[in-house]
């Protein structure tokens, strides 16, 4: 059983400057709900209740969001506006949140290693909250991956087919299809140029990782951009057949980019009508 979900949220969100000078990227809302809350709700939908958050400087708003604001509660008590808080109240009452800080931004792999004290020696999920996923009323992406983990008991990455011209934005996998939409990964490359890309199967911001990943990250040298890339560490697991790639069911929006953010806003607005 997977109980814990790690959220690496220490990045600077430079593509959203100046908005992200003081507001964490993960707190930008799609309609009225911050990206981070969508992520936590997806983890809850997958049966997880322990949220382990790797933060950085100027991310305090995330901690405040998953806490009670007594002043607002007092102001709106007994009015219709209480309805706006039903969702977040449920999240706060059902989950525990723990935090640790990544002092220097040394990459996603390093951020995950920073979360080790919050995770311990058990398999765990990772959500990058700026990848917003939706699968309507059916299982969310993480819930789909938890079911797969029960079968394969190894690390799992969520993938989708991207336009071949866009491989430079993603970790790209190659593997053998073992079931419909499920691959045993042989090779992975971080952000390849389209001409060097193995396939157009791109890793998105959902992972299930086995805890041996922490020792592997410790032994992994910085890769592309001088950062410790999670793709490089996963390659060590893949070399012994321990990584599955899963073409998830649902839609994903890259809310770390302005285009994806606007697309998600329009999508959720139309859904709410
Ligand atoms: P991104 O590179 O997409 O996020 O990292 P960013 O750096 O915040 O955004 P831009 O490119 O400057 O606009 C993917 C995820 O990994 C986290 C980020 O917070 C984001 O959720 N991350 C990345 C860390 O937590 N620590 C790091 O050192 C690097």
Structural domain of residue 40, as residue ranges?
4-272
CA of 128 to the centre of ligand 1 (A): 8
Per-residue pLDDT averaged across 163-186, rounded?
96
Per-residue pLDDT averaged across 227-254, rounded?
95
Q: Whose CA is nearest to atom 18 of ligand 1?
A: 11
Cβ–ligand 1 contact at 115 (below 6 Å): no
Q: Which of 42, 50, 203, 53 is nearest to 134 (CA)?
A: 42
pLDDT digits (tens, 9 = 90+) for 136-174: 989 999 999 999 999 999 999 999 999 999 999 999 999
- Structurally, how many domains does the chain consist of? 1
Average pLDDT of the chain is 95
Cβ–ligand 1 contact at 206 (below 6 Å): no
* pLDDT of amino acid 266: 98
Mutate which of 6, 10, 11, 26 for ligand 1? The one with the most ligand atoms within 8 Å of its CB, which is 11
| Contact present, 207 and 125 (Cβ < 8 Å) | yes
Tell me how crowded residue 273 is: count the other CB atoms within 10 A of its CB: 4
- Cα three-residue angle 14-255-110, rounded to 5 degrees: 60
Mutate which of 15, 61, 106, 108 for ligand 1? The one with the most ligand atoms within 8 Å of its CB, which is 108
Q: Whose CA is nearest to atom 9 of ligand 1?
A: 13
pLDDT digits (tens, 9 = 90+) for 103-135: 999 999 999 999 999 999 999 999 999 999 999
- Cα three-residue angle 29-33-37, rounded to 5 degrees: 105
Residue with tokens 């073409």: 247
Task: Tell me which of 58 and 28 has the higher pLDDT.
Answer: 28
| Contact present, 9 and 36 (Cβ < 8 Å) | yes
pLDDT digits (tens, 9 = 90+) for 199-214: 999 999 999 999 999 9
* pLDDT of amino acid 138: 92
pTM: 0.96
The DSSP bridge partners found for residue 55 are 101
* pLDDT of amino acid 126: 98
> What phi, psi does 178 have (nearest 5°)?
-110, -20
pLDDT digits (tens, 9 = 90+) for 24-54: 999 999 999 999 999 999 999 999 999 999 9
Q: Which of 57, 58, 40 is nearest to 49 (CA)?
A: 40
The DSSP bridge partners found for residue 161 are 201
Cβ–ligand 1 contact at 260 (below 6 Å): no
Percent of the chain, pLDDT > 70? 100
The CATH number given to whatever domain includes residue 46 is 3.90.550.10
* pLDDT of amino acid 224: 77
| Contact present, 156 and 246 (Cβ < 8 Å) | yes
Cβ–ligand 1 contact at 13 (below 6 Å): yes
């Amino acid at each position: 059983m997977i109980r814990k979900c790690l959220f690496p949220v220490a990045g600077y969100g430079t593509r959203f400057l100046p908005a992200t000078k003081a507001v964490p990227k993960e707190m930008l809302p799609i309609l009225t709900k911050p990206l981070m809350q969508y992520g936590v709700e997806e983890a809850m939908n997958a049966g997880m209740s322990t949220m382990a958050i790797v933060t950085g400087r100027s991310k305090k708003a995330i901690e405040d969001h998953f806490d009670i604001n007594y002043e607002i509660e007092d102001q709106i008590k007994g009015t219709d506006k209480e309805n706006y808080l039903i969702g977040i109240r449920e999240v706060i009452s059902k989950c525990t949140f723990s935090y640790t800080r990544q002092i220097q931004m040394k990459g996603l792999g390093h951020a995950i290693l920073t979360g080790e004290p919050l995770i311990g020696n058990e398999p765990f999920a990772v959500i990058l909250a700026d990848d917003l996923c939706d699968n309507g009323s059916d299982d969310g992406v993480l819930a789909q991956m938890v079911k797969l983990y029960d079968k394969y008991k190894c690390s799992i990455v969520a993938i989708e087919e991207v336009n071949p011209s866009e491989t430079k934005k993603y970790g790209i996998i190659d593997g053998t299809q073992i079931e419909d939409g499920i691959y045993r990964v042989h090779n992975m490359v971080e952000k390849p140029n389209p001409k060097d890309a193995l396939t157009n199967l791109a890793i998105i911001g959902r992972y299930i990782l086995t805890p041996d990943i922490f020792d592997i990250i410790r032994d992994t040298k910085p890769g592309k951009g001088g950062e410790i890339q999670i793709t490089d560490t996963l390659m060590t697991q893949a070399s012994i057949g321990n990584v599955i790639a899963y073409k998830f069911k649902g839609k994903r929006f890259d809310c770390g980019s302005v285009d994806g953010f606007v697309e998600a806003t329009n999508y959720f607005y139309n859904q709410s009508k």
